[in-house]
Amino acid sequence: MSAPAAEGVFRSNLSARHRRGRVWRAVFLGSTAVALIALAALGGNILRDSVGLVAVQDAIDPGRLADRPLERLAPAELMAILQDHLSPAVFQRLDSEQPFAERSRRALHKLVIERVVEPQILASWPLDESLLERGRIEAEAARDYPRARLEFRAWVNTNFLSRPMSSDPMRAGIRTALLGSLWLIGITLVFAFPVGVASAVYLEEYASRSRLNRAIQTNIDNLAGVPSIIYGMLGLALFVRALGPLTSGAFLGLTDTNGRTILSGGLTMGLLVLPLIIINAQEAIRAVPSSLREAAYGLGATRWQTVWSHVLPQALPGILTGTILAMSRAIGETAPLIVVGASTFNPSDPTGPFSRFSALPIQIYNWASRPQAEFHNLAAAAIIVLLAALLGLNAAAILLRDRYSRGLRGT
Amino acid sequence: MQTTSRLPNGPDQLIDTAALLRRRPRLGEGLIQALLSLAGALSIVTTLGIVLVLGRESLLFFQSPDVSLAEFLTGTQWQPAILRFGLWPLAVSTLVTSFIAMLVALPLGLGAAVYLSEYATPRRRGLLKPLLEILAGIPTVVYGYFALTFVTPILRSIFGADTVKIYNMASGGIVMGIMILPLISSMSEDALSAVPSALREAAYAVGATRLETAAQVVVPAALSGIIAAFIIGMSRALGETMIVALSVGAGPNLTLNPFESAETITGHIARISGGDLSYNSLDYNSLFALGLVLFLITLVLNVISRRVVARLREVYE
């Protein structure tokens, strides 16, 4: 084989290799892009379902209630409408809750809308169709729901946040679920934070390299990988059943509950996030320079004095960051709560650790598993609230981490 | 403070101080250490609790005259109402959804990891990594909603509404893959970045292109880390509940067709325990037998993956 021919083979080979390199580079970039597209689709899909046109129909046309728009009626006239259209028993009950004479005009107006006009959502359309195919929707609504009017509705609104659960999509809100989630997070935090930090301190500052302590460490790593639903089963058997008399509040004389309470849910969630808190706290404690400990010991401090006044304050931002991230895991976790027995329909606010409860992700699950489009709108709205809460928690964690690393650079 | 101020007073004083320190009993210190070790032991108690609870209820389940271990392990029907407790319908759909998830997550996750570790500029990596982390932080119930209201309609419009059921394993599996993708990509990227750059430089020196270096040198060197990521991802997929509970279906069904509806182990546990369930019933006990199966499988997978990672560490330290 002559030299020029060999060179020619080599050249063509090289350009093929480079071509292959470019193709695969595009493939690698593409797989990253697929992940980002999925993220965008997920966000877009939620947004699409949380704003859009709805067909609303009133039980009674407000024009037939009075000769002027309802907003302009005096309190006495609104009261008269209520008296005319509500059954005497309901009217009496509302009056005994708060006498009508003491209610403001706005409150009365709201009551008339809710109890007498009773708007109902008959159908809903996603955002993209609402914007681009308005004509088709109008025709469809005029055909299928002749008495209804089309309205543009943002499903996340102040009513949605402040109203209790309801089976009517127009009036359904997430107050009950939000309060349930807050209680749950509170109990989880009160239980898991001290225990988690204490375990981390023990493992990093006290434990010798003994067999037992190595076993504890391995065990914590394994626990972090146990599926969350298994924790739910542990909670069901342990907190709900075995410790039922304690978690139901029966030992305090409460009788109307079983073990399926906020307390059981919070403790279950506490066990679930405990490994995360421990692992994060361990990392934060390990990052404290040992010169700090040696200085404390050199001054004659005991081990606990060293830990309490030197190691922990230095590790605290890291520990808190880890705890916040663990809480953001807890706030979105659904499966264990279902098993422990969060109720999917519970219109009354939780009053304490021994209440039955619902939680935000449970509410989302419940709405999402219903076939009607209006409930999917509600689920999307609740997801936005949940994601906003998560975003807030993560932003707090990032701020904390940034301040922490700046502080370290300063010293 | 007291002891240090006395120190300069002379040798006699020094001895006195030492004796004083020795004599003073530190009751609080011992108590605190006991409390801390108790907190440390709680994790062991949790594990024991899980094993005990799952084991005890499973034992009650298998002791029942209507149930046999052989039928549980080989039966092809799971219908508690007529006392049929065969694991296979639930196990097969769990495996099918997890398999689909890995089919999505492994190539995409690995591709993203190679791009981030071998190709991306630091600036672009700093932009892309947090975005992938967002994907990892989204609650699974949100993914379930996504599967049901976005992926299923797309599948149905591609393959036809007759072929694809409203609840199907494919959509749950695909979305589960998207959920696991950031886990695979970040664990694989860690493994790839841990490969010493001397290896890359050697490959470039003998004339390898960037792709050849990545595919034939760096990826093989990081293989154990990538395998560990794959195993952890698999264990996550098997134990994932909300996505399959929302999108895969609500009734055990022995089928390999990904467009059919079915019910996974986790989905079944969630559905049955979410309803009104009486304790001490066979239904209740059967859930714990399923839980035990799930726990053992994920535990074995997690232990294997840690072994693999430990081997990786030995190579480069």
- Chain A to chain B, count of Cβ pairs less than 8 Å apart? 251
Same domain? For B113 and B195 the reply is yes
Q: How many CB atoms lie within 10 A of CB B278?
A: 7
Which residues in chain A have their CB less than 8 angstroms from residue B139's CB? Answer: 331-334, 361, 386, 390
Rounded to a whole number of angstroms, the distance from the CA of A138 to the nearest CA of chain B is 24
Report the range of poorest mean pLDDT among B99-113, B166-180, B294-308: B294-308
Residue A268 in any domain: the answer is yes
**B270 closest CB neighbour out of A46, A219, A338:** A338
DSSP assigned state of A101: G
Mean pLDDT of A259-268: 87
Asked if residue A318 has pLDDT above 60, the reply is: yes
pLDDT at B115: 95
Asked whether residue B14 falls in the same domain as residue B94, the answer is no
* Shared-domain flag, residues A277 and A135: no
Residue predicted with more confidence, B4 or A381: A381
Taking an 8 Å cut-off on Cβ atoms, the answer to whether B137 and A394 are in contact is yes
CB of A204 within 8 Å of a chain B CB? The answer is: no
Query: pTM (2 decimals)?
Result: 0.87
Residue A204 and residue A346 in one domain: yes
Contacts of A264 (CB under 8 A, 6+ apart): A235, A239, A240, A243, A247, A340, A341
**Percent of the residues in chain A that have a pLDDT greater than 90, as a whole number:** 34
- Looking at the structure, tell me whether residues B15 and B124 fall in a common domain: no
Q: What confidence tier does A344 reach under pLDDT thresholds 50, 70, 90?
A: low
Cβ distance B145 to A334 less than 8 Å, yes or no, reads no
Q: Using CA atoms, how far apart are residues A21 and B206, in angstroms rounded to an integer?
A: 16
pLDDT over 50 (residue A325) = yes
pLDDT score for B13:
52
How large is the average pLDDT for residues A377-398?
91
Q: How many domains does chain B divide into? A: 2
- Range(s) of the domain holding residue A69: 50-86+116-154
Residues B105 and B195 in one domain: yes
Q: Which residues of A touch B47 (CB under 8 A)?
A: 219, 222-223
Tokens standing for A1? Answer: 């084989």
Picking from A20, A29, A226, the nearest residue to B295 by CB comes out as A226
Task: State whether A81 and A207 are in the same domain.
Answer: no
Is residue B125 within 8 Å of residue A360, measured between CB atoms? Answer: no
| Nearest beta carbon to residue A34 from set B108, B140, B239 | B108
Neighbours of A40 (CB within 10 A): 11
Give the model's pLDDT for residue A112: 78
| Same domain as A180, residue A150 | no
Cβ-based neighbours of B152, under 8 Å, separated by 6 or more: B164, B166, B167, B168, B171, B247
Q: Could you tell me if B154 and B36 lie in one domain?
A: no
Q: How many CB atoms lie within 10 A of CB B230?
A: 22
Query: Are A129 and A228 part of one and the same domain?
Result: no
Whether residue B134 lies inside any domain: the answer is yes
Rounded CA gap, A102 and B86, in Å?
65
Q: Who wins on pLDDT, A5 or B199?
A: B199
Q: How far is B149 from chain A (nearest CA, A)?
A: 8
Distance from CA of A257 to the nearest CA of B (A): 15
3-class state of residue A346 by DSSP: coil
Q: What's residue A28's pLDDT?
A: 95
pLDDT at residue A258 in the model: 74
Q: Assess whether pLDDT exceeds 90 at residue B184.
A: yes
In a domain, B69, yes or no: no
**Which of A28, A216, A260, A297 would best serve as a mutation to test chain B binding (most B beta carbons within 10 A)?**
A28
Instruction: Find the CB nearest B108 among A31, A45, A376.
Output: A31
Q: What percent of chain A has pLDDT over 70?
A: 93
pLDDT at position B1 over 50: no
Same domain for A323 and A185, yes or no, is yes
Name the strand (E) or helix (H) holding A122: strand A119-124
For residues B7 and B120, membership in a common domain is answered with no
User: Are A365 and B246 within 8 A, CB to CB?
Assistant: yes
B294/A230 touch (CB, cutoff 8 Å), yes or no:
yes
How would DSSP label each residue in A137-185? HHHHHHHH-TT-EEEEEESSSHHHHHS---SSTTT---HHHHHHHHHHH
Domain's final residue, options A106, A124, A154: A154
Number of H helices, E strands in chain A: 19, 3
Query: A300: domain CATH number?
Result: 1.10.3720.10
Residue at B267 is within a domain = yes
pLDDT band at A128 (very low <50, low <70, confident <90, very high): confident
Q: Is A15 on the interface with B (CB under 8 A)?
A: no
On the question of pLDDT at A244 being above 50, the answer is yes
Taking the Cβ of residue A223 and every Cβ of chain B, the question of whether any pair is shorter than 8 Å is answered with yes
Chain B nearest-CA distance from A163, in A, is 22
Give yes or no: residues A263 and A378 share one domain: yes
Does A24 reside within a domain?
no
Query: Which of the residues A203, A216, A233 would you substitute to probe the B interface, choosing the one with the greatest number of B C-beta atoms within 10 Å?
Result: A233
Asked if the structure places residue A273 within a domain, the reply is yes
Residues A188 and A325 reside in one and the same domain: yes
The confidence band for A411, taking pLDDT boundaries of 50, 70 and 90, is very low
* pLDDT score of A89: 81
Q: Answer whether residue A370 shows pLDDT above 70.
A: yes
Arithmetic mean of pLDDT over chain A: 84
Identify whether A82 is part of a domain.
Answer: yes
A386 versus A4: which is more confidently predicted?
A: A386
The pLDDT score that the predictor gives to residue A8 is 55
Domain identity same for A128 and A222: no
Q: What is the ipTM of this complex?
A: 0.87
Residues 6 or more apart from A308 whose CB is under 8 A from it? none
- Mean pLDDT for the stretch of residues A217-226: 88
Residues B290 and B195 in one domain: yes
Q: What's the pLDDT band for A91 if we cut at 50, 70, 90?
A: confident
B33, B63, B93: which is the final residue of a domain?
A: B63
CB neighbourhood size of A96 (10 A): 8
Q: Rounded CA gap, B223 and A329, in Å?
A: 30
A10 located within any domain: no
How confident is the model at residue B282, as a pLDDT?
A: 85
CB-based burial of residue B211 (10 Å sphere; 0-12 exposed, 13-18 middle, 19+ buried)?
A: buried
Residue A183 located in a structural domain: yes
Q: Which residue has the higher pLDDT, B310 or B107?
A: B107
B271 and B161 share a domain? Answer: yes
Do A199 and A333 fall within a single domain? yes
pLDDT at B150 over 80: yes
Distance CA B271, CA A199 (A): 35
Sign of the Cα torsion A396, A400, A401, A403 reads positive
What's the distance, CA A345 to chain centroid? 17
Which chain A residues touch B181 with a CB distance below 8 Å?
35, 38
Distance from the A34 Cα atom to the nearest Cα atom in chain B, whole angstroms: 8
* Distance in angstroms (rounded) separating the CA atoms of residues B148 and B166: 8
B302 with A17: Cβ contact below 8 A: no
Long-range contacts formed by A121-124: CB under 8 A, 24+ apart: A121/A54, A121/A55, A121/A56, A121/A169, A121/A170, A121/A374, A122/A54, A122/A55, A122/A56, A122/A57, A122/A148, A123/A54, A123/A55, A123/A148, A123/A373, A123/A374, A124/A52, A124/A53, A124/A54, A124/A55, A124/A153, A124/A373, A124/A374, A124/A377
Band (pLDDT 50/70/90 cuts) for residue B19 is: low
* Any domain includes A166: no
Instruction: Tell me, yes or no, whether B118 and B208 share the same domain.
Output: yes
Structural domain for B15, as ranges: 2-63
The tally of domains found in chain A comes to 2
Could you tell me if residue B71 is inside a domain? no
- Which of A314-318, A372-376, B138-142 ranks highest by mean pLDDT? B138-142
pLDDT above 90 covers a percentage of chain B that reads 52
What does the block give as tokens for A234? Answer: 């542990």
- Per residue in A22-81, pLDDT (tens digit) is 999 999 999 999 999 999 999 999 999 998 888 888 877 777 777 777 777 777 788 888
Q: How confident is the model at residue B309 (pLDDT cuts 50, 70, 90)?
A: confident
Strands A149-154 and A119-124: unpaired
- The gap from C-alpha B257 to its chain's centroid, in whole angstroms, comes to 25
Same domain (yes/no): B6, B133: no
Here the CATH number for the domain that contains residue B295 is 1.10.3720.10
